[in-house]
Amino acid sequence: MWEEYVINTKTNNLAPLFVGREACESGHNFGPYERDCYLVHFCISGKGVLKNQYGTLNIGEGQLFVIRPGEITTYTADKTNPWEYVWIAFRSDEIFFEDGKSVFDTPQGLDDKLIDIIREEQVSYEGCLSVIYSIIYHTARPNEVYAGDETVRRIRNYIKYNYMLPITVNSISKSFGFNRCHLYRTFKTKYGIGIKEYLTSIRMEKAKEFLKRGYSVKESAYMVGYGDEFNFSNAFQERYGIRPSKIKRLD
């Protein structure tokens, strides 16, 4: 059984910006401010309150809170048990974290890892990246809003580079995590052709090239993702009006 999982579908320029740590005084207040980056705070002790467009959110030890680009936020340390937190900021072209949710349980050991990074004589860029990716993996799930121009462009590129594999519309939808019907409509709106038709057109164009270069019908079928020579020949004739065996080799 063939399986493949897409792990690089993004043109994301993700970059750590800064990290820090503070043991806040009673009632210490920060804001209201608007950020142009993601800022994640890990509460390692005490408690406090975050205010944003979603309301007033209580945060305690073992939790983290996320500030998104463009959000206006204020956060305040508790008067009797003020928090201590560590933070990491990063910039990204992607939109992360589900709307309406800003507070999450801290993934095990992630705050300790960031503390270790801060303690180093020279803060590790790679270490910060690993923390950010861990945050995203454990708490952030991109929304279906991505099924727009950027997503269909990625899907088109994915097909261009993987047409030789036994991919289907279903497997593509599953790999990218989006509804098949929604992707079909979005893809066709942008490119004027359905995903299945585009996949077939790429395969047929490549097969025609291979046939002209002297590869056999069977070889060409295999090289463009067809396991069945008969199905390939029918698809080729339907597209070009000629059997693939009639394609002349270019000398």
Q: What is the pLDDT at residue 101?
A: 85
Rounded to an integer, what distance in angstroms lies between the CA atom of residue 197 and that of residue 7? Answer: 24
pTM above 0.85? no
The proportion of the chain whose per-residue pLDDT surpasses 90, expressed as a percent, equals 37
- Of 58-62, 146-150, 169-173, least confident by mean pLDDT is 146-150
Cβ atoms of 213 and 250 closer than 8 Å: yes
Q: What is the pLDDT at residue 2?
A: 44
Residue 165 CB neighbours (<10 A): 13
- Give residue-wise pLDDT tens across range 93-136: 777 776 678 999 988 888 898 988 888 877 888 888 888 888 88
- Give residue-wise pLDDT tens across range 41-100: 999 999 999 999 888 999 999 999 999 888 889 999 999 999 999 999 988 877 777 667
Domain map (residue ranges) of the chain: 15-139, 146-246
Confidence band, pLDDT 50/70/90 cuts, at residue 7: very low
Q: To the nearest whole number, what is the mean pLDDT of the chain? A: 84
3-state SS class at 77? strand
3-state SS class at 82? strand
User: How far is the CA of 54 from the CAs of 50, 72, 94, 129, in angstroms?
Assistant: 10, 11, 21, 28
According to CATH, the topology of domain 15-139 is: Jelly Rolls (2.60.120)
The edge-to-edge listing of strands for the beta sheet with 55-60 is: 29-34, 72-77, 47-52, 55-60
Q: Is the pLDDT of residue 237 over 90?
A: yes
Q: Which CATH class is domain 146-246?
A: mainly alpha
Q: What is the pLDDT at residue 250?
A: 62
Angle, helix 125-139 to helix 110-119, in steps of 10 degrees:
160
Question: Which among 92, 93, 107, 113 has a CA at the least distance from the CA of 39?
Answer: 92
Rounded to an integer, what distance in angstroms lies between the CA atom of residue 15 and that of residue 38? Answer: 10
The proportion of the chain whose per-residue pLDDT surpasses 70, expressed as a percent, equals 89
Q: What is the pLDDT at residue 98?
A: 67
